[in-house]
Amino acid sequence: MLRSVLLPAIHPSPSPLSSSPAASWHSCRSHISTRAASSGLLAKPPRSSGIGPVCSAYNAPFPGPFPEPSRYSSMKDYLSELDKETKKALETFYGFSEGKSKVRRSADDWNETESHFFNQIPLLKFEDFSKTATDLRSGRKRKIEGSVFHKDSSIVNSGDSNDIIGFQLCDANNSSECALYTFSSGVNAIQEWYKLHYMNIMAQIPLETKEELSYSADDLLLTCFFDGLSCDKRHFTRFHHPLHGNCYTFNSGENGTILSTSTGGSEYGLQVVLYIDEADYNPFLVTSTGAKIIVHDQDEYPFIEDIGTEIETAAATSIGMHFTRSRKLSKPYSDCTETGADIPVENLYNKSYSLQICLHSCFQKAMVESCGCAQYTQPLPAGAEYCNYKKNPNWMYCYYRLHEKFVKEQLGCQQICKDACSFKEWALTTSIAQWPSIVSEDWMLRVLSWDKGQKINKLNKTDLANLMVFYKDLNERFISENPTNTIVILLSNFGGQLGLWMSCSVVCVIEIVEVFFIDSLSIVMRRQWQKAKKWWNDRKREGSGKPQVGDVERQGHDNPVCIDEDLPTFNTALRLPLPQETHLPRTPPPNYSTLRLETAFTEQLPDTLEAGQH
C-alpha cells in the first residue's frame, strides 16, 4: 500500500531560486542560442531557443510537501458496509476469505441508507463479453441492457479467462439508459468499484472530521533535519487531499518565512524519517506500500497522482534536485498563455496557472453544469456541493459518461486549455540504499521506538522510510525562446540584400517610393480637386440662370485655391495663360525729314566721285 507523502516540495517561492527575501547571489550567465530555419519571410514567425546556465552563489529557497492517507482504523465506522460488500465480492468471485471477523457498526442509520445504494450498483460478472451477468448479492444471472465500455487491462485475470468483472450504471431519470463498465482484471474492477463508493461516502463527511481522522504531523515525523539543523512539525503545513487524507508541505511559506540553503549536497538538504504504519492502511483503496513525494514551487498545486515520486520502506532514498526555468514565446510564435487570464475557465485551485489546473477546473465546471454537483476529488466551485447518492442519485452515471467524453477530447477542455509560457521544473535523481543496515538495525529501531513512545514493542523497519531531498548544486538552468526574425532584423537584411545585388540603398528606395507613389498620388488628388471645383462653380452658375458680375472662370494657376509657389518648369510654362491682345491705334506714323536719308546721299555722290578723280 502506497502512502502518499507530499514531502519536500522544494519550494523556491515565486521565483524558486531568487525570490527569498534573504537570498543574495551573484551570477555569471552564458547564453547559447540555436537558431531555427525559416522557410519564408513572415510566413510563420520562427523561433530560436536559448539555454542560459547561471553560475551563481545564492541562498536557495527550499521546497517540500507530504501527503498522508487517512487512518483506516478511524474510518472503519464509515466504511464498514463498503468493506463488507467488497469482501463478499472477493469470496463469491474468487473464493477469498479472511475468516469471520467482527465488523464495527456505526450508531446512526448510515448503513441502512447505504445498503440501498449497494443494491443499485452491485458488482457483476460477465461471461465472454456477453450481456448475461451474475449478480453479486443474489447470485442470479440476468440480462443487462446498455452500452458496454470495456476498460482492458492485463494485470490479473479473474478466474476463467472468459470471465469479466464490472458494474452497471443507469440514468436515474431514465432506467432504460444504462452503461456497462467492465474490466478484464478483477483487481482493477474491485478497486474502481470501491473508489466509486468511497468518494460517495467521503463526500458526506465534514472536512473537519476527516482531518481529525487522518494522521497528524507528529504521527508522520520521527526525525527531521534541514541544513544541518533540527526541524519539527512547525515547519510543515497541512492540506487535506480528498483521497490521500492529510498531506504536509515543508517550507510552504504560508507563515511568511521561506527557508533557504546556501550550500548544495545531501548534508544541507532535508532529512526525515517517516513512520509508515502499514497495518493501518486501507487494503482496497491502494495496494502498494511506501510513500509518495512531490517537489513543487510554493505557488504551484501538488498533483500527487500525476507527478508524484514513490519511495520505499526499509530503505534510504536520496533525491538530488536540479532546477530549470523555461520560457516560451507567446503568440504569434506559439499558442501558450502567460497567466491564464485569457482562458475562459475559472482557476479553482487558487494557484499559478498550469495546463493541469485548467483541465481539472474545466472538467469540474462541466460536471457542475451537467450533473448538478461537483466531483469529490477536485476543488469545490462557488455555490456548488459535492456529489453524493442521497442528494444526487444520478451523479455516478453522469460522471462516467462525462469522463468518457473528456478522455476522448469531446468535452472541449483540451481545445480551450493551453500550455503556460513560463514554467519551472526540478529534475530529480533518485538513489536507493538498504536502511537500516544489518549491524545498526537493532539499536536504531529501539531508539526510534522510544522516541515514538513505544517502550515495549519495537518498531518494524517495514514501517519506516528514510528520505533525503537536497540540491545537487546551486546552478540554475534557464531555457528561453527568442524570435529568429524581427521587423528590425527583416528590414536590415532587406537593405543589405539590395545593396549587395542591386547597388541600391534604402535612401534610393525611399526616393523611388516617393516619386511613384506619393508624388503621383498628389498629382491625381490635385487634378480631382480642380475638376470638383470646376463642377461646383458650373453648378452654381447654372443655378443662378445667368452669369454673375465679376464671375470669371478660374482654373489652373489662376485658381487661388491651387497656388504653386515653386519655380515654373518647362511644362508649367507652356500651361501659363497668354497675355491679352492689345489693339494698336490706326493713325499713321509721323513723317520725319530725317528719315529721307537715301535721297540726300544720292545727290552728294557725284560730287564726291569728281573730287576723288582730281
Q: Give me the pLDDT at residue 594, please.
A: 58
- Domain spans in the chain, listed from the N-terminal domain onward: 2-71+216-334+424-481, 75-207, 343-420, 487-515
Q: Which has more pLDDT, 272 or 95?
A: 272
Give the confidence band of 509 by pLDDT, cuts at 50, 70, 90: confident
Instruction: Please give the mean pLDDT across all residues of the chain.
Output: 75
Cell of 222: 520521527
Give the confidence band of 76 by pLDDT, cuts at 50, 70, 90: confident
Instruction: Name the percent of the chain lying above pLDDT 90.
Output: 25
Among 36-50, 175-189, 203-217, 598-612, whose mean pLDDT is lowest?
36-50
In angstroms, rounded to a whole number, what is the distance separating the alpha carbons of residues 406 and 358? 13
Helix (H, G, I), strand (E, B) or coil at 416: helix
Q: Give me the pLDDT at residue 578, please.
A: 66
Give the confidence band of 20 by pLDDT, cuts at 50, 70, 90: very low
For 532-560, write each residue's pLDDT tens digit: 988 888 888 887 655 555 455 555 555 55
Give the confidence band of 435 by pLDDT, cuts at 50, 70, 90: very high
Q: 222 φ, ψ to 5°?
A: -100, -45
Q: Cβ contacts of residue 63 below 8 Å, gap of 6+?
A: 8, 9, 10, 11, 12, 16, 250, 251, 295, 296, 297, 298
**Exposure string (b/e) for 217-256, b if CB count within 10 Å is 16 or more?**
bebbbbebbbbeeebeeebbbbbbbbbbbbbbbbbbbeee
Q: Of 413, 422, 308, which is closest to residue 356 (Cα–Cα)? A: 413
Give the confidence band of 403 by pLDDT, cuts at 50, 70, 90: very high
- pLDDT score of 153 more than 50: no
- pLDDT score of 606 more than 70: no
Chain-centre distance for alpha carbon 462:
40
227 Rama class: left (phi>0) / alpha (psi -120 to 50) / beta: left
Give the confidence band of 24 by pLDDT, cuts at 50, 70, 90: very low
**Of 135-149, 260-274, 493-507, 594-608, highest mean pLDDT:** 260-274
Chain-centre distance for alpha carbon 463:
38
- pLDDT score of 21 more than 90: no
Give the confidence band of 374 by pLDDT, cuts at 50, 70, 90: very high
- pLDDT score of 152 more than 70: no
Q: Give me the pLDDT at residue 574, please.
A: 66
Q: How many residues does the chain have?
A: 614
Instruction: Name the percent of the chain lying above pLDDT 70.
Output: 67
In angstroms, rounded to a whole number, what is the distance separating the alpha carbons of residues 326 and 478? 6
- pLDDT score of 32 more than 50: no
In angstroms, rounded to a whole number, what is the distance separating the alpha carbons of residues 2 and 288? 4
Q: Give me the pLDDT at residue 169, please.
A: 84
For 471-483, write each residue's pLDDT tens digit: 998 888 999 998 8
Beta-bridge partners for 123:
167
For 282-309, write each residue's pLDDT tens digit: 888 878 888 889 999 888 999 988 888 8
In angstroms, rounded to a whole number, what is the distance separating the alpha carbons of residues 87 and 91? 6
- pLDDT score of 513 more than 70: yes
Q: Does 2.30.30.20 match the CATH number of domain 2-71+216-334+424-481?
A: no
- pLDDT score of 571 more than 70: no
**Exposure string (b/e) for 556-584, b if CB count within 10 Å is 16 or more?**
eeeeeeeeeeeeeeeeeeeeeeeeeeeee
Chain-centre distance for alpha carbon 464:
37
Q: Which CATH architecture has domain 343-420?
A: Orthogonal Bundle (1.10)
Q: Give me the pLDDT at residue 537, please.
A: 87
**Of 278-282, 303-307, 443-447, highest mean pLDDT:** 443-447
**Considering the entire predicted model, what is its pTM?**
0.69
Among 38-47, 178-187, 377-386, 450-459, whose mean pLDDT is lowest?
38-47
- pLDDT score of 519 more than 90: no
In angstroms, rounded to a whole number, what is the distance separating the alpha carbons of residues 503 and 253? 64
For 104-133, write each residue's pLDDT tens digit: 444 344 444 445 555 667 778 776 556 676
**Of 148-162, 392-406, 533-547, highest mean pLDDT:** 392-406
